Amino acid sequence: MHDLVVLVSGSGTLLQALIDDAQHPGSPYRVVAVGSDRAGITGLDRAQRAGIETFVVAPGEHPDRGAWDRALAAAITGHSPDLVVSAGFMRILGPAVLAAHRVINTHPALLPSFPGAHAVRDALNHGVRVTGTTCHWVDAGVDTGPIIAQRAVTVRPADTEDSLHERIKVEERQMLVEVVRSLTASSRP
């Protein structure tokens, strides 16, 4: 059984997909903790309802980015995960976290196109006909790590940022579950 720590910043729909999948008999992983950069979010509520331990490491409670990164690394390490999943975590992970843990992330675009926080808006503004979602290993860059999997989503003529993002999220949740199952089934903890 592989232990996961999931990092969230918002509603936690990607987290919920992992929680639901981990409850199936024979799942090769379990979510042992959920961390966030802010308190009072739905993602933490989802974890607590599922009986999963939570933690918050707020950047404002640390003197600088390096101190926050070290505190986050320590909080994650305290749960001894085999894999860390950045699931809608809206912070760039620093060298302390990346040196200590294997981390994957999902992104709502077909990387390397449209990295950063506004991928869906950027894709619409650029006029692409196809966008999608990517799961990748996290490195020191912004959405630059090696790609693990991608799924395409067709852009419809009437799409808004919200409607397109909702369709991308459906694919993103399915892809993340498949990637985590594959990574945890194919390697020893």
Cβ neighbourhood burial of 114 (10 Å; 0-12, 13-18, 19+): buried
What stretches of the chain show up as alpha helix (H) in DSSP?
13-22, 42-49, 65-77, 95-100, 119-126, 161-185
Distances in Å between the Cα of 125 and the Cα atoms of 120, 130, 156, 185 are 9, 13, 13, 39
Written as six digits, the tokens of 79 are 């749960």
Q: How far is the C-alpha of 53 from the C-alpha of 34, rounded, in Å?
A: 6
Place of tokens 């101190």: 67
Q: Report phi then psi at 174, rounded to 5.
A: -65, -45
107 annotated active-site: yes
The catalytic position among 101, 107, 136, 165 is: 107
* Angle at 142 (CA atoms; ends 138, 145), nearest 5 degrees: 35
Active site residues: 107
